[in-house]
Amino acid sequence: MPYVNIKITREGVTTEQKATLIRETTAMLARVLNKDPQTTHVVIDEIDTDNWDLAGESMTHHRKLEGITHKDAIGNQPRGNCNTKGYHHESIRRTHERNSLDRIS
């Protein structure tokens, strides 16, 4: 009886998108591991960006650094990757640069 827990930030993921995650995760477990879809559990937890941390800063903070508002994130849903307007890798780079400068000074 597989149990899969998917955690995502609460940024406007639609009911249809969640249904697709559940359906495709269930199908993948059936295909790859030969698991019975009738006994597969998939849970999606949506986490507020204030409660999701990356490189020592909340995702709310990262969104603000990149000028991405909650409305922007909802209107520009990423397709197939974790990047929204490329904020992810750039904000990590900036955080590391800022931390390096803090150590020098």
Q: Name which residue leads in pLDDT, 72 or 56.
A: 56
Is the overall model pTM greater than 0.85, yes or no?
A: no
Question: Going from the N-terminus, what domains does the chain have, and what CATH number goes with each?
Answer: 1-47 (3.30.429.10), 53-105 (no CATH)
Would the CA dihedral through 2, 17, 32, 80 be positive or negative? negative
pLDDT over 50 (residue 78)? no
Over the stretch 12-61, which tens digit does the pLDDT of each residue have?
Answer: 899 999 999 999 999 999 999 999 999 999 999 999 999 999 999 999 99
Annotated catalytic residue within 1, 2, 61, 69: 2
Q: How far is CA 7 from CA 1, 68, 89, 103, in A?
A: 20, 20, 19, 33
Active site residue 78: no
In the predicted model, is pLDDT for residue 70 greater than 60? Answer: no
Mean pLDDT rounded to a whole number for the chain:
79
The per-residue pLDDT for 76 is 54
